[in-house]
Amino acid sequence: MIPLLKPYSFPEQLAHIADLMQSNSYSTNHYSTLVLELLAAKFGHNNFFLTASCTQALEAILLAIPEISGKEVILPSWNYVAAANAVINAGAVPIWVDINIETGNINLEDVILAITPRTKVILFINYLGTRQNLQSLKEIKDHSDIFIIEDDAYGLILKNRNDTSLIDATCYSVDHTKPLHAVRGGIIELHNTKIAAELRNVLDSGTNRFLMETGIVNKYTWVSRGSKYSMTELNACLLLSSLTNILNIQKRMEILKETYRKLMLYPIIGEAGIAIACRNAIERNKLIFNLKKRNITASTHYEPLHLSTYAKQMSSSIRLLPYTITFSNIILRLPYFYELKEQEVAYITEEVNKYVF
């Protein structure tokens, strides 16, 4: 059976784990420091923070935004539930908006219509790594104090980036389901350094421990909300291996993606993941069923959050968001992982293409 996803492993990962276990020093941040150095070299700055998951990265950055409690956060309903939970846990109110039917990304025209005096954050995702044209948000960024947060869960592997001058922070996932992974983990890339101190406090369980470690104060104290969000050294040593192999991983994933694009007759969606847009839900369900009979795993993706039980409990006013509903009924994810072979991609596309007429 060809799985939808399969985490890779490299020989040096075992060596890193053995070194960590033998050193018996899990709190030295040795591997976390090496990871941060690699990220700084890759992106040209050192404003990175390692977290235990992308969910916690989102929650931490939202908690670092001043006066967010009770304010509104605009985000797409087509989303992973973790983003919504991060908003709720920060004490904010989620405001659902629709998506672009061609990409699965947030509909920026709908975002502009949803802005009110209570809007504090716009939280957008790059669906399966697909980059977002943010120029329509430039005027908002230039003439308001609204924070713009990028949920780029799949995108750390990609070479191209959004215009970070319009973004306050980017959150990445390095979960085992992503092209670049640490089994589980997240990364915050901070573009707006004005909230760096607040973010450090949040990541240090709501304390100003950083000031103590840098010699500014003698003892740390509780100064804000926060939690133990930091990535473990075990996950950091696994991430180190991924980052040192990033060029090989990028090359391999690009070959697989281009093979899909060359052979697939359906429209392909995604830059760091592969999905197709079927004509309707019936066709999609038939594809899932028949591909399974041919030992190919295919899957639906998110369910619209604004139609969930919890969202309805929070608000009796539910917007239709028609593109979100349509997209959730037609999107089909296909296998895409490092060890996938080109001939397997050819087999997958051949079976899928049988349904095109």
Q: Is residue 3 part of a domain?
A: no
Q: What is the pLDDT of residue 320?
A: 86
Virtual torsion, Cα 164, 242, 184, 49, nearest 10 deg: -40
Bridge partners (DSSP) listed for residue 103: none
Report how far apart, in Å, the C-alpha atoms of 107 and of each of 76, 87, 110, 137 are.
8, 19, 5, 11
Three-point CA angle 61, 67, 71, nearest 5°: 90
**Based on the domain organization, do 112 and 55 belong to the same domain?**
yes
**Based on the domain organization, do 98 and 151 belong to the same domain?**
yes
Q: Is residue 1 part of a domain?
A: no
Backbone phi, psi, residue 112, to 5°? -60, -40
Closest by Cα among 270, 280, 290 to 333? 270
**Based on the domain organization, do 213 and 287 belong to the same domain?**
no
- What count of Cα atoms within 13 Å lies in the side-chain half-sphere of residue 37? 9
Q: What is the pLDDT along the chain (357 residues), one digit of tens a residue?
A: 999 999 999 988 888 888 888 887 666 789 999 999 999 999 999 999 999 999 999 999 999 999 999 999 999 999 999 999 999 999 999 999 999 999 999 999 999 999 999 999 999 999 999 998 888 888 888 888 999 999 999 999 998 888 888 999 999 999 999 999 999 999 999 999 999 999 999 999 999 999 998 889 999 999 999 999 999 999 999 999 999 999 999 999 999 999 999 999 999 999 999 999 999 999 999 999 999 999 999 999 999 999 999 998 887 667 789 999 999 999 999 999 999 999 999 999 999 999 875
| Count: domains in the chain | 2
Dihedral class, residue 183 (left if φ above 0, else alpha if ψ from -120 to 50, else beta): left
Q: Is residue 168 part of a domain?
A: yes
Q: Is residue 305 part of a domain?
A: yes
CATH number of the domain enclosing 318: 3.90.1150.10
Residue in the block written with tokens 């969606």: 269
**Based on the domain organization, do 222 and 142 belong to the same domain?**
yes
Domain boundary among 218, 242, 266: 242
**Based on the domain organization, do 69 and 149 belong to the same domain?**
yes
Q: Is residue 5 part of a domain?
A: no
Q: Is residue 26 part of a domain?
A: yes
DSSP-assigned letters across all residues of 63-113: HHSTT-TT-EEEEESSS-HHHHHHHHHTT-EEEEE-B-TTT-SB-HHHHHH
Bridge partners (DSSP) listed for residue 276: 268, 332
**Based on the domain organization, do 336 and 223 belong to the same domain?**
no
Residue in the block written with tokens 């780029």: 152
CATH number of the domain enclosing 16: 3.40.640.10
- Residue 97 and residue 115 in contact, taking contact as beta carbons nearer than 8 Å: no
Domain boundary among 242, 260, 276: 242
Q: What is the pLDDT of residue 23?
A: 82
**Based on the domain organization, do 157 and 98 belong to the same domain?**
yes
**Based on the domain organization, do 313 and 343 belong to the same domain?**
yes
**Based on the domain organization, do 83 and 95 belong to the same domain?**
yes
Report how far apart, in Å, the C-alpha atoms of 91 and of each of 1, 199, 267, 308 are.
44, 16, 39, 19
**Based on the domain organization, do 111 and 225 belong to the same domain?**
yes
* 332: helix, strand or coil: strand
**Based on the domain organization, do 103 and 187 belong to the same domain?**
yes
DSSP state of 232: P
Dihedral class, residue 44 (left if φ above 0, else alpha if ψ from -120 to 50, else beta): left
Tell me, letter by letter, the H, E, C secondary structure of 126-162: CHHHCCCCCHHHHHHHHCCCCEEEEECCCHHHCCCCC
Closest by Cα among 116, 58, 118, 79 to 307? 79
Report how far apart, in Å, the C-alpha atoms of 153 and of each of 181, 187, 343 are.
11, 9, 28
- Residue 204 and residue 226 in contact, taking contact as beta carbons nearer than 8 Å: yes
Type of residue numbered 244: T
Q: What is the pLDDT of residue 160?
A: 85
> What predicted TM-score, i.e. pTM, was given to this entire model?
0.95
Q: Is residue 267 part of a domain?
A: yes
The domain of 322 spans: 246-353
Q: Is residue 6 part of a domain?
A: no
Domain boundary among 225, 242, 259: 242
Residue in the block written with tokens 């609204």: 146
**Based on the domain organization, do 65 and 96 belong to the same domain?**
yes
